[in-house]
Amino acid sequence: MTPTTQSQSGQDGRPVRYRVRAIDLMVGHTLPYAVYDDHGRLLMAKGATLANHHQRRKLLALGFTDTKPPKLDLTKSNTRSDRRRQQQQALDIRVESLLFGVGRLRRDDALETEPLATLAHRIAELATESLDTALALAHLPLDWPHPLALGFRSALLTAGMLQAGDEPTETANAAVAACLAVPLHPEAGPARLEPLPHRLTAAIRVTGAYLGQVCPPSGQPVVTPIDALRDLRGSRETDEEQAAVERLLALLTPFPPGSYVRVRDQGIGVVVQLTASPAEPITLLFADGAGRRLRKPRLLVVDKMTSPIDKAVSPERVAVALDPRDLYQYTYHLDD
């Protein structure tokens, strides 16, 4: 389906436009359509309505079906596959809602406590429920202004680093909220960071330095995760920063979810799930060796003996544009 634009007149007489495109999810699901506003914010997808009632009326006026997801009743599922699918549906809705909530943040929101605290709690929950999904969202492209994307990525990584630790929940969530706030409103940074323990501010600095290389502002060179981690390991000055680097290394491994890799004799793909062996992640192959899209992407469990990862690939060298919303559903299929 070719991207189209439909419009109707708003209350002020100006046209209200929505971009509509079909998305074939790379794991077998078909998303009939996704609706975005002019700022790239997702309004409606996968049957989960994320718009408010006023926006929903506009969508209905344009002819879209207002379908709602079924109630998630795990007690009625008799098979393991059914339960996993319902759990995944709940995760899909949670991620879409989180993306919608973070995407609406503005600079002055960094001065408020309640909105950021709520989002920080939801980010921490996502990191606990599906760490692979959180790490993938931290690395895949986001069509947001750089400060907003940087804050979201930093919050995801920081939540991932803290979810296995012994930090009190309130302190950990305050650190995640600070990650969201500081890039949006740098002047508010000291007030957000000052109450935090030094080990947490060190973790935030380390994730910021890592993301500054892996996901830099537009026009700046992109460094692969493995090279960025190698650079970080030798450049930190304090013991707390070195400890934070080691925690980040343990979290990400050389090929974190969301990173692009070239698999020998197979093609180019994106890591979707880690395994017990850091060198053998589960990878979704979507392009051939030249970077051209495959007709049908496929999942591959990397074998370091027969089909090892030759190297990490910079996103700038991949001709296939990936949307993170197309990819975060993959994990449960690996268990079916």
Which residues are 287's β-sheet partners?
Answer: 268, 293
Q: Give CA–CA dist 140/328, Å, rounded.
A: 10
Planar angle of CA 325, 282, 215, nearest 5 degrees:
50
Question: Taken in order 169, 175, 179, 182, is the CA torsion positive or negative?
Answer: positive
Contacts of 276 (CB under 8 A, 6+ apart): none
pTM: 0.68
Planar angle of CA 248, 250, 254, nearest 5 degrees:
90
Tokens of 181: 């706030």
* pLDDT tens digits along 180-192: 999 988 887 788 8
Contacts of 56 (CB under 8 A, 6+ apart): 49, 66
Residue 311 φ/ψ region, left for φ over 0, alpha for ψ in the -120 to 50 degree band, beta for the rest = beta
Planar angle of CA 115, 41, 208, nearest 5 degrees:
60
Q: In a 10 Å sphere around its CB, with 0-12 CB exposed, 13-18 middle and 19+ buried, how is residue 314 labelled?
A: middle
Domain ranges of the chain: 1-78, 105-252, 260-335
CB neighbour burial string for 110-129, b if at least 16 within 10 angstroms, e if fewer: beeeebbbebbbbbbbbbee
Residue 309 φ/ψ region, left for φ over 0, alpha for ψ in the -120 to 50 degree band, beta for the rest = beta
Tokens of 203: 């973790």
Each residue's pLDDT, cut to its tens digit, for the chain (336 residues) gives 333 333 333 344 443 333 333 322 222 233 334 444 444 444 444 433 333 444 444 444 444 444 433 343 444 445 666 666 667 677 777 788 888 888 888 888 887 888 898 899 999 998 988 888 888 889 887 888 999 999 999 999 999 998 866 788 889 999 999 999 999 888 877 888 889 999 999 999 999 999 999 999 888 888 888 888 888 887 777 888 888 888 888 888 888 888 888 898 888 888 888 877 877 888 888 888 777 777 777 778 888 787 788 888 877 776 666 655 555 544 434 443
* pLDDT tens digits along 286-307: 888 777 777 777 778 888 787 7
Tokens 């059914």 belong to which residue? Answer: 82
